[in-house]
A and B are shown apart, each in its own frame.
Chain A
Amino acid sequence: MALATALPFLARAHHPEAFHEGPRRLATSAGVVNTVLMLTSSYFVARSMSAIRRNRQRQTLYWLAGALLCGIGYLVVKSIEFAWYSELGINGSTGIFFTTYYYLAFNHLVHVGWGSLGILWVMVRTWAGAYSPEDHEGLEAFACYWHTIDLAWLIIFPIAYVWH
């Protein structure tokens, strides 16, 4: 993970011009929408933890369903964004900025995909009554994973879309 984190910084140090121009060709609005979706899903997961501690299983399920919708929304927006770049002739070979961008963004996309399946799993477990205020370690472990994905995007968004 440390290497993946260092990559965009080293690439930028070697190719400053490409990293000044690159962000201007990305769809900032798509990046903003996806950041809102990631933050909102993270908030919903945090609220689901709060709900299970109060033994509100139905509320827990609703918060998780909200998080799942945000996760799916992220995947849809990202797919549209990638398709749009493809229409413009932009891909991972377009230049060092885009190679770095696709490496980070695609890696993140895969983790959101896995994480969305994880949300489905903890929803099924919640529905089955597996979690209680005293025992909800499975939900807590998932929440940590999802917040970590959120943190990763909070790094990728500013360095790829904003920092030109």
Chain B
Amino acid sequence: MSGIEMSHDRKLTFAWLFLLVLTLGGGYLGETAEPGMAITLIVAAVIAIKGRMVINHFMELRDANQRIRRLVTAYFYVLPAMVIAVDLFGPWLSRLTSI
């Protein structure tokens, strides 16, 4: 096994372990935290971080076609923004989308 591939595998392992730590932290938060803006911000940040780690390390899109990478990565900018927007502007969004 070459040094480069060892390094790639090691990066994958570190990414996986980091993702597991974030998951256990999320579970603890779900059980203990009180509702509020703090938990909303943490949920948004965790979605953004986890998504980007999977996209860059597991899917290997970091070195792929930039258009595809940007499209997939955009999800993990838009979704955390939606999490925050729903908590900040929920009633306005509700009125906007009422029939």
Contacts and interface: CB of A to CB of B under 8 A. Distances in A.
Interface of A: 5-6, 9-10, 12-14, 16, 20, 23, 28-29, 31-32, 35-36, 39-40, 42-43, 45-47, 49-50, 53-54, 143-144, 147, 150-151, 154-155, 157-159, 161-164
Contacts of B19: 39
Interface string B18-47: 011001101101110101000110010011
A36 B82 contact: no
B47 A154 contact: yes
Given A13-B94, A32-B23, A164-B30, A5 B79 contact: yes
Interface of B: 1, 5, 8-9, 12-13, 15-16, 19-20, 23-24, 26-27, 29-31, 33, 35, 39-40, 43, 46-47, 50-51, 54-55, 57-60, 75, 79, 82-83, 85-86, 89-91, 93-94, 97-98
Contacts of A53: 5
Given A5-B79, A31-B27, A159-B43, A14 B12 contact: no
SS class, residues of chain B in contact with chain A: helix
Contacts of B75: 5, 151
B39 to A, nearest CB: 7
B55 A9 contact: no
B97 A10 contact: yes
Nearest to A38: B23
B1 A157 contact: no
B21 to A, nearest CB: 11
Contacts of B86: 9, 12-13
| Most B C-beta atoms less than 10 A away, residue of A6, A31, A164 | A164
Contact of B16 (A35, A43, A54): A43
A36 B82 CA distance: 25
A143 B61 CA distance: 12
B1 A54 contact: yes
